[in-house]
Copies of this chain bind each other. A is one copy, B any other.
Amino acid sequence: MSDAVPMDALPTLAQVRDAAARIAPHAVVTPVLRSAVLDALAGTELHFKCENLQRGGAFKFRGACNAVWSLTDEEAARGAVTHSSGNHGNALALAAATRGIPAHVVVPEGAVQAKLDAIVRAGGTLHRCAPSQAAREAMCAEVQARTGAVLVHPYADTRVMAGQGTVALELLGQVPGLDALVTPVGGGGLAAGVATTAHGIDPSLGLFGAEPQGADDAARSLRAGERVTDVVPDTVCDGLRALVGLRNLGALREHRVDVVTVSDAETVAAMRLLWQELKQVVEVSSATVFAAVLKEPAHFAGRRVGLVLTGGNVDLDALPW
């Protein structure tokens, strides 16, 4: 990537295709599942892209893997670093392991032990910090300075967005004739990657985002015409609490992504239906997409809809129902 291009520029379709080739030896081509019962409930035709079956249990592996394999040999030798207490940290550790390079993951105090264990199992090195954005960034900068590791931001990174965009490339190849796509919106790495990819392939596709009401900064930002940053997240969807990135938001606006907000109760009910009928273990953040379809049937009636189920890393001892 040339120095003249900002690291968080939106990816082009060509970059997404390159990413797909780059990650192909390492990533899972995840299946697309259907359910007659869920179709009947939604009154439309639903195609669920099961990224809960991706390596590491979440789509995050795509972006992390593309970033790791985009590094020059010299960069790679110094390793990669990120801050994440969730799926991205684990994804980076797994991706780094595929290239045999170090992964440093900055995690705030209070992160879930099971997730930390997974990062260590994947070969990552943990760096603890205080649970604030400032402390995370400071620790990240310190690790970068000390090790020379390359920062791989969870969503505001072109390589990561291009990797996440491969979900759309793959889904549109698996299910010809889709009319609309729905992804959750957190930091916006997936939503932006999918939007640029999908419209690069078919500009007539309807694009939707699903956002928790308790972390609705993207919906508010689109309404306000500028990035709203004073949202204090309050939602059970632990994967969707990040504020949407500036360029990610730009992609949502440019591609006219319609963001539907859903309550936690609606999301938990949708999650339960996905477990019961689709037989998939998906995490609560993933269920926002199905909750959005159930909430706004008029948006989806008579359309063939692709929904990205983003991950399946759950604590089986603390189910939300």
In the assembled complex, the CB of A310 is this many whole angstroms from the nearest CB of chain B, namely 12
Check A52 for interface membership: any CB of B closer than 8 A. Answer: yes
In the assembled complex, the CB of A249 is this many whole angstroms from the nearest CB of chain B, namely 31
Contacts of A31 in B (CB 8 A): 31, 33
Name the prevailing secondary structure of the A interface residues.
Answer: mixed
Contact B53 A312 (CB under 8 A): no
In the assembled complex, the CB of A114 is this many whole angstroms from the nearest CB of chain B, namely 9
Which single member of B33, B50, B53, B272 contacts A316 (CB below 8 Å)?
B272
Contact B316 A275 (CB under 8 A): yes
Which single member of B36, B281, B321 contacts A275 (CB below 8 Å)?
B281
For the side of the interface on A, what is the size category? 20 to 34
Please, what's the 1-or-0 string for A45-67, where 1 marks a CB less than 8 Å from any CB in chain B? 00000101101010000000000
Which single member of B57, B282, B312, B316 contacts A321 (CB below 8 Å)?
B316
In Å, the complex CA distance between A282 and B276 comes to: 10
Residue of B nearest to A50 (CB): B279
Residue of B nearest to A277 (CB): B57
Check A12 for interface membership: any CB of B closer than 8 A. Answer: no
Please, what's the 1-or-0 string for A301-321, where 1 marks a CB less than 8 Å from any CB in chain B? 000000000001000110101
Contacts of A281 in B (CB 8 A): 275-276, 279-281
Please, what's the 1-or-0 string for A256-282, where 1 marks a CB less than 8 Å from any CB in chain B? 000000000000000010011001111
Please, what's the 1-or-0 string for A97-138, where 1 marks a CB less than 8 Å from any CB in chain B? 000000000000000000000000000000000000000000
In the assembled complex, the CB of A84 is this many whole angstroms from the nearest CB of chain B, namely 20
Contacts of A272 in B (CB 8 A): 316
In the assembled complex, the CB of A179 is this many whole angstroms from the nearest CB of chain B, namely 23
Which single member of B52, B57, B276, B279 contacts A53 (CB below 8 Å)?
B279
Contacts of A282 in B (CB 8 A): 279
In Å, the complex CA distance between A31 and B141 comes to: 44
Please, what's the 1-or-0 string for A18-45, where 1 marks a CB less than 8 Å from any CB in chain B? 0000000000000101001000000000
In the assembled complex, the CB of A60 is this many whole angstroms from the nearest CB of chain B, namely 14
Contacts of A52 in B (CB 8 A): 279
Contacts of A275 in B (CB 8 A): 281, 316
23 contacts between A and B (CB under 8 A): A31-B31, A31-B33, A33-B53, A36-B55, A50-B279, A52-B279, A53-B279, A57-B279, A272-B316, A275-B281, A275-B316, A276-B281, A276-B316, A279-B280, A279-B281, A279-B312, A280-B280, A280-B281, A281-B281, A316-B319, A316-B321, A317-B321, A319-B319
